[in-house]
A = this chain, B = another copy of it.
Amino acid sequence: MKRSGRLVALTNFFLENPRVHSNLPSFVEMFNAAKASISEDLDIIDELFREKGIGYLKRTSGSTGGVMFIPELSRDRGNQFIDQLCDRLKDPNRILPGGYLYMSDILGEPNTVREIGRIFASKFSNLEIECIVTVATKGIPLAYAVASFLQVPVVIARRNPQVTEGSSVSINYVSGSSKKIQTMVLPKRSLPEGTNVCIIDDFMKAGGTINGMVSLLKEFNANVKAIGVLAEADDEEEERVVNDYTSLVKISSVDIKENFISVQRGNYI
Protein backbone atom coordinates (compact mmCIF):
# COMPACT_ATOMS: atom_id res chain seq x y z
CA MET A 1 0.00 0.00 0.00
CA LYS A 2 1.17 3.53 -0.78
CA ARG A 3 1.98 6.06 1.92
CA SER A 4 -1.24 8.01 1.34
CA GLY A 5 -3.42 4.94 1.96
CA ARG A 6 -1.30 3.88 4.93
CA LEU A 7 -1.70 7.28 6.60
CA VAL A 8 -5.49 7.08 6.38
CA ALA A 9 -5.55 3.46 7.59
CA LEU A 10 -3.14 4.13 10.48
CA THR A 11 -4.96 7.30 11.58
CA ASN A 12 -8.22 5.36 11.64
CA PHE A 13 -6.58 2.53 13.57
CA PHE A 14 -5.13 4.79 16.27
CA LEU A 15 -8.33 6.82 16.74
CA GLU A 16 -10.41 3.65 17.05
CA ASN A 17 -7.92 1.95 19.37
CA PRO A 18 -6.52 4.43 21.88
CA ARG A 19 -4.00 3.02 24.35
CA VAL A 20 -3.65 -0.24 22.42
CA HIS A 21 -0.02 -1.28 22.09
CA SER A 22 1.03 -2.34 18.57
CA ASN A 23 4.34 -3.67 17.36
CA LEU A 24 5.94 -2.04 14.35
CA PRO A 25 6.44 -5.44 12.67
CA SER A 26 2.67 -6.01 12.70
CA PHE A 27 2.23 -2.82 10.62
CA VAL A 28 5.13 -3.84 8.36
CA GLU A 29 3.29 -7.06 7.62
CA MET A 30 -0.18 -5.47 7.38
CA PHE A 31 0.91 -2.88 4.81
CA ASN A 32 3.71 -4.83 3.16
CA ALA A 33 6.01 -1.83 3.66
CA ALA A 34 9.53 -1.26 4.99
CA LYS A 35 9.99 -0.60 8.68
CA ALA A 36 11.60 2.77 7.91
CA SER A 37 8.53 3.82 5.89
CA ILE A 38 6.14 2.86 8.68
CA SER A 39 8.32 4.76 11.12
CA GLU A 40 8.08 7.87 8.94
CA ASP A 41 4.28 7.44 8.74
CA LEU A 42 4.14 7.41 12.52
CA ASP A 43 6.22 10.59 12.70
CA ILE A 44 3.79 12.36 10.38
CA ILE A 45 0.74 11.21 12.37
CA ASP A 46 2.37 12.06 15.70
CA GLU A 47 3.21 15.57 14.55
CA LEU A 48 -0.30 16.24 13.27
CA PHE A 49 -1.98 14.82 16.40
CA ARG A 50 0.16 17.09 18.59
CA GLU A 51 -0.50 20.09 16.37
CA LYS A 52 -4.29 19.49 16.52
CA GLY A 53 -4.12 19.06 20.30
CA ILE A 54 -5.76 15.63 20.27
CA GLY A 55 -2.93 13.50 21.65
CA TYR A 56 0.30 11.86 20.61
CA LEU A 57 1.89 8.56 19.63
CA LYS A 58 3.91 7.00 22.42
CA ARG A 59 6.79 5.10 20.87
CA THR A 60 8.78 2.40 22.60
CA SER A 61 12.15 1.26 21.37
CA GLY A 62 13.65 -2.20 21.76
CA SER A 63 14.07 -5.19 19.50
CA THR A 64 10.62 -4.95 17.97
CA GLY A 65 9.53 -1.41 18.81
CA GLY A 66 6.00 -0.44 19.56
CA VAL A 67 3.54 2.42 19.40
CA MET A 68 0.41 3.49 21.26
CA PHE A 69 -1.97 6.41 20.70
CA ILE A 70 -2.51 8.43 23.88
CA PRO A 71 -5.52 10.76 23.50
CA GLU A 72 -4.74 14.02 25.25
CA LEU A 73 -6.73 17.16 24.69
CA SER A 74 -4.63 20.31 24.80
CA ARG A 75 -5.31 22.73 27.67
CA ASP A 76 -6.41 25.35 25.15
CA ARG A 77 -9.03 23.16 23.55
CA GLY A 78 -10.20 22.01 26.98
CA ASN A 79 -10.53 25.54 28.34
CA GLN A 80 -12.31 26.74 25.23
CA PHE A 81 -14.84 23.91 25.47
CA ILE A 82 -15.47 24.55 29.18
CA ASP A 83 -16.06 28.26 28.56
CA GLN A 84 -18.62 27.43 25.86
CA LEU A 85 -20.30 25.02 28.28
CA CYS A 86 -20.50 27.73 30.96
CA ASP A 87 -22.15 30.09 28.48
CA ARG A 88 -24.74 27.51 27.53
CA LEU A 89 -25.53 26.72 31.17
CA LYS A 90 -26.18 30.39 31.96
CA ASP A 91 -29.33 30.40 29.82
CA PRO A 92 -32.17 31.30 32.26
CA ASN A 93 -34.56 28.99 30.36
CA ARG A 94 -32.74 26.17 32.12
CA ILE A 95 -34.14 27.11 35.52
CA LEU A 96 -36.63 24.54 36.79
CA PRO A 97 -39.04 24.78 39.73
CA GLY A 98 -37.10 24.33 42.97
CA GLY A 99 -33.99 26.00 41.57
CA TYR A 100 -32.82 22.96 39.62
CA LEU A 101 -31.03 23.28 36.32
CA TYR A 102 -32.10 21.50 33.14
CA MET A 103 -29.00 19.89 31.59
CA SER A 104 -30.47 16.82 29.87
CA ASP A 105 -30.20 18.40 26.43
CA ILE A 106 -26.45 18.94 26.82
CA LEU A 107 -25.97 15.45 28.25
CA GLY A 108 -27.94 14.12 25.27
CA GLU A 109 -25.44 15.37 22.66
CA PRO A 110 -22.99 12.60 21.73
CA ASN A 111 -20.27 15.04 20.59
CA THR A 112 -20.46 17.11 23.77
CA VAL A 113 -20.41 14.00 25.94
CA ARG A 114 -17.43 12.69 23.98
CA GLU A 115 -15.52 15.93 24.47
CA ILE A 116 -16.18 15.86 28.22
CA GLY A 117 -14.85 12.29 28.24
CA ARG A 118 -11.75 13.41 26.36
CA ILE A 119 -11.06 16.12 28.94
CA PHE A 120 -11.30 13.78 31.92
CA ALA A 121 -9.34 11.04 30.17
CA SER A 122 -6.56 13.54 29.43
CA LYS A 123 -6.50 14.74 33.02
CA PHE A 124 -6.41 11.20 34.44
CA SER A 125 -4.16 9.84 31.69
CA ASN A 126 -1.25 8.77 33.93
CA LEU A 127 -3.17 7.31 36.87
CA GLU A 128 -3.24 3.72 35.58
CA ILE A 129 -7.01 3.59 35.86
CA GLU A 130 -8.44 0.14 35.13
CA CYS A 131 -12.18 0.79 35.39
CA ILE A 132 -14.70 3.66 35.37
CA VAL A 133 -17.47 3.53 37.96
CA THR A 134 -20.65 5.60 37.90
CA VAL A 135 -24.12 5.42 39.40
CA ALA A 136 -27.28 5.26 37.29
CA THR A 137 -28.52 7.28 35.40
CA LYS A 138 -27.14 10.57 34.17
CA GLY A 139 -23.47 9.83 34.70
CA ILE A 140 -23.58 6.79 32.41
CA PRO A 141 -22.88 8.46 29.03
CA LEU A 142 -20.04 10.50 30.57
CA ALA A 143 -18.56 7.35 32.12
CA TYR A 144 -18.53 5.58 28.73
CA ALA A 145 -16.97 8.58 27.05
CA VAL A 146 -14.10 8.65 29.55
CA ALA A 147 -13.76 4.88 29.31
CA SER A 148 -13.53 4.90 25.54
CA PHE A 149 -10.45 7.17 25.65
CA LEU A 150 -8.81 5.28 28.53
CA GLN A 151 -9.74 1.92 26.92
CA VAL A 152 -11.15 0.48 30.16
CA PRO A 153 -14.55 -1.02 31.08
CA VAL A 154 -17.45 0.74 32.81
CA VAL A 155 -19.25 -0.55 35.90
CA ILE A 156 -22.62 0.92 36.89
CA ALA A 157 -23.83 1.07 40.49
CA ARG A 158 -27.59 1.18 40.93
CA ARG A 159 -30.19 2.25 43.43
CA ASN A 160 -31.90 -1.15 43.33
CA PRO A 161 -30.49 -4.64 42.79
CA GLN A 162 -31.45 -6.25 39.46
CA VAL A 163 -32.20 -9.91 38.86
CA THR A 164 -30.15 -9.73 35.67
CA GLU A 165 -26.95 -8.93 37.55
CA GLY A 166 -26.71 -11.79 40.05
CA SER A 167 -25.58 -11.42 43.65
CA SER A 168 -24.52 -7.95 44.63
CA VAL A 169 -22.94 -5.93 47.42
CA SER A 170 -25.02 -3.09 48.80
CA ILE A 171 -24.48 -0.21 51.18
CA ASN A 172 -26.72 2.34 52.80
CA TYR A 173 -25.59 5.93 52.94
CA VAL A 174 -26.95 9.33 53.88
CA SER A 175 -27.44 11.67 50.95
CA GLY A 176 -25.71 14.98 51.61
CA SER A 177 -28.50 17.28 50.53
CA SER A 178 -31.72 15.49 51.46
CA LYS A 179 -30.37 13.69 54.55
CA LYS A 180 -32.32 10.63 53.43
CA ILE A 181 -30.96 7.11 53.76
CA GLN A 182 -30.27 5.74 50.32
CA THR A 183 -29.09 2.38 49.00
CA MET A 184 -26.53 1.65 46.32
CA VAL A 185 -25.62 -1.75 44.91
CA LEU A 186 -22.86 -3.14 42.72
CA PRO A 187 -22.96 -6.68 41.25
CA LYS A 188 -20.36 -8.91 42.91
CA ARG A 189 -18.83 -10.07 39.68
CA SER A 190 -18.57 -6.63 38.16
CA LEU A 191 -15.25 -5.64 39.74
CA PRO A 192 -12.18 -7.74 40.62
CA GLU A 193 -10.56 -7.06 44.02
CA GLY A 194 -7.98 -4.26 44.12
CA THR A 195 -8.92 -2.53 40.86
CA ASN A 196 -7.78 1.06 40.20
CA VAL A 197 -10.98 2.97 39.55
CA CYS A 198 -12.11 6.41 38.49
CA ILE A 199 -15.54 7.67 39.61
CA ILE A 200 -17.45 9.78 37.09
CA ASP A 201 -20.77 11.58 37.67
CA ASP A 202 -22.70 14.43 36.13
CA PHE A 203 -23.39 16.49 39.23
CA MET A 204 -22.13 16.90 42.78
CA LYS A 205 -23.65 18.99 45.52
CA ALA A 206 -22.55 18.02 49.02
CA GLY A 207 -21.01 14.85 47.60
CA GLY A 208 -23.14 12.26 49.42
CA THR A 209 -23.64 10.08 46.35
CA ILE A 210 -19.95 10.14 45.43
CA ASN A 211 -19.09 9.37 49.03
CA GLY A 212 -21.54 6.45 48.88
CA MET A 213 -19.72 5.15 45.81
CA VAL A 214 -16.38 5.45 47.60
CA SER A 215 -17.74 3.43 50.54
CA LEU A 216 -19.22 0.81 48.23
CA LEU A 217 -15.92 0.52 46.36
CA LYS A 218 -14.10 -0.10 49.65
CA GLU A 219 -16.06 -3.36 49.86
CA PHE A 220 -14.27 -4.39 46.65
CA ASN A 221 -10.89 -3.16 47.94
CA ALA A 222 -10.80 -0.85 44.96
CA ASN A 223 -8.36 2.07 44.79
CA VAL A 224 -10.19 5.27 43.93
CA LYS A 225 -7.54 7.04 41.84
CA ALA A 226 -9.69 9.92 40.59
CA ILE A 227 -13.14 11.50 40.85
CA GLY A 228 -14.54 13.57 37.99
CA VAL A 229 -17.83 15.47 37.93
CA LEU A 230 -19.16 17.57 35.09
CA ALA A 231 -20.77 20.16 37.37
CA GLU A 232 -20.38 20.95 41.02
CA ALA A 233 -22.83 23.14 42.91
CA ASP A 234 -22.12 25.29 45.90
CA ASP A 235 -24.14 24.21 48.86
CA GLU A 236 -23.81 26.75 51.62
CA GLU A 237 -25.78 24.75 54.14
CA GLU A 238 -23.72 21.60 53.83
CA GLU A 239 -20.07 20.95 54.22
CA ARG A 240 -18.71 19.04 51.28
CA VAL A 241 -17.89 15.43 52.15
CA VAL A 242 -15.69 14.85 49.10
CA ASN A 243 -12.61 17.00 48.64
CA ASP A 244 -10.32 15.48 46.07
CA TYR A 245 -12.21 15.74 42.78
CA THR A 246 -12.09 17.41 39.38
CA SER A 247 -15.04 19.48 38.15
CA LEU A 248 -15.40 21.13 34.75
CA VAL A 249 -17.96 23.75 35.74
CA LYS A 250 -19.21 25.22 39.00
CA ILE A 251 -22.77 26.38 39.46
CA SER A 252 -22.57 28.87 42.29
CA SER A 253 -26.17 30.07 42.35
CA VAL A 254 -29.55 29.68 40.67
CA ASP A 255 -31.63 32.74 41.42
CA ILE A 256 -35.27 32.01 40.61
CA LYS A 257 -36.48 35.50 41.46
CA GLU A 258 -33.94 37.32 39.32
CA ASN A 259 -33.99 34.59 36.67
CA PHE A 260 -30.21 34.38 36.81
CA ILE A 261 -27.74 31.50 36.89
CA SER A 262 -24.16 31.99 37.97
CA VAL A 263 -21.78 29.53 36.34
CA GLN A 264 -17.98 29.52 36.43
CA ARG A 265 -15.19 27.24 35.38
CA GLY A 266 -14.69 24.35 37.79
CA ASN A 267 -11.42 23.38 39.45
CA TYR A 268 -10.16 21.60 36.29
CA ILE A 269 -8.55 24.73 34.93
- Tell me if B164 and A103 are in contact (CB < 8 A): yes
Q: How far is the CA of A189 from the CA of B8 in the complex (A)?
A: 41
Which residues in B have their C-beta under 8 angstroms from that of A165? 96, 102, 104
Which residues between 1 and 56 of chain A lie within 8 Å of chain B, taking CB atoms?
A: 3-5, 7-9, 11-12, 15-17, 44-45, 47-49, 52, 54
- A105 at interface by CB-CB < 8 Å: yes
Enumerate A151-203 residues with CB–CB distance to B below 8 Å.
Answer: 151-156, 158, 163-166, 187, 189-190, 203
Are A9 and B48 in touch, CB under 8 angstroms? yes
How distant is the Cα of A151 from the Cα of B136 in the complex, in angstroms? 24
- Asked if B96 and A163 make an inter-chain contact with CB atoms under 8 angstroms apart, the answer reads yes
One of B48, B153, B158 near A108 (C-beta < 8 A): B153
In the complex, the answer to whether B12 meets A148 with C-beta atoms within 8 Å is no
Binds B, one of A60-68, A137-145, A214-222, A258-266: A137-145
Question: Measured between alpha carbons, how far is A96 from B189 in the docked complex, in Å?
Answer: 12
Which residues on the B side are within 8 Å of A140 (C-beta)? 137, 140-141
Pick the contact of A110: B4, B111, B144 (CB < 8 A).
B144
Does A109 touch B at the CB level, under 8 Å?
yes
Given A101-B164, A110-B144, A111-B151, 5 more contacts at CB 8 Å? A7-B8, A96-B163, A104-B164, A105-B189, A108-B154
- Residues on A lying within 8 angstroms of B by beta carbon are 3-5, 7-9, 11-12, 15-17, 44-45, 47-49, 52, 54, 96-98, 100-105, 108-111, 113-114, 136-137, 140-141, 144, 147-148, 151-156, 158, 163-166, 187, 189-190, 203
**Would you mind naming 10 contact pairs between A and B with Cβ atoms under 8 Å apart?**
A4-B7, A7-B8, A8-B49, A96-B164, A98-B163, A104-B156, A136-B136, A136-B137, A137-B137, A141-B144
